[in-house]
Amino acid sequence: MDWAEIKSEEELRELLGEVMPRAVTKERAVLHERDREWLANSPFCLIATADASGACDVSPKGDPAGFTHVIDDTTIAIPDRPGNRRADGFHNILQNPYVGLLYLVPGRGETLRINGRARLVREAPFFDELIVKGNRPKLAIVVEIEQIFFHCAKAFLRSNLWKPETWNPDALPSHAAIVKSVQKTEESLEELERYYGDSYADKLYKV
């Protein structure tokens, strides 16, 4: 296949043009009041990490809105909740502290982007403020902010992500069926359907 690959920053900039002035000036390193409002209303974020070799991972984090704890103007903390214990992102942070965060607010096209250096903390006074449904996290990701800015809504507008009339979840098999088809499992499809069924939500905060 004859691909025209871009191999230099100069070639990339020539293709895309110069950065829009407003895109340059929007970067900050300190939380603004509007950033705090966004975090207080966001129930979901994506955390991008990379290991020492540069291999990347993106992990979703979700909790009631405001789950991200603001420690001060340049530091935030994200609680961990019970999961599958792979801890891919945590392993990456131990090797390479740089992280990228993308905060969503349902119904809004803009996102809040935060980049910085992370560390894993297993205990701190603010952990008592991170309890949800009786679950006190075993650890939290503490991020020292180096860059923060709001990202425009174009991707959400193009994708119609928040328009229910465009949603078609039944176009895909159930999660249980996907699991059964892509990995080896001892459970039958019926057992997986029960596991991922209505009671699945009852186990979200149970260790």
CB atoms within 10 A of CB 110: 15
- Give Cβ neighbours of residue 24 (< 8 Å, ≥ 6 apart): none
Q: How far apart are CA 206 and CA 177, in angstroms?
A: 24
pLDDT given for residue 24 in this prediction: 86
d(CA 76, CA 42): 14
pLDDT score of 68 = 98
% of the chain exceeding 90 in pLDDT:
93
From first CA to last CA, the distance across the chain in angstroms is: 50
Residue 207 pLDDT > 90: no
91-114 residue pLDDT tens: 999 999 999 999 999 999 999 999
Please give the model's pTM, rounded to 2 decimal places. 0.95
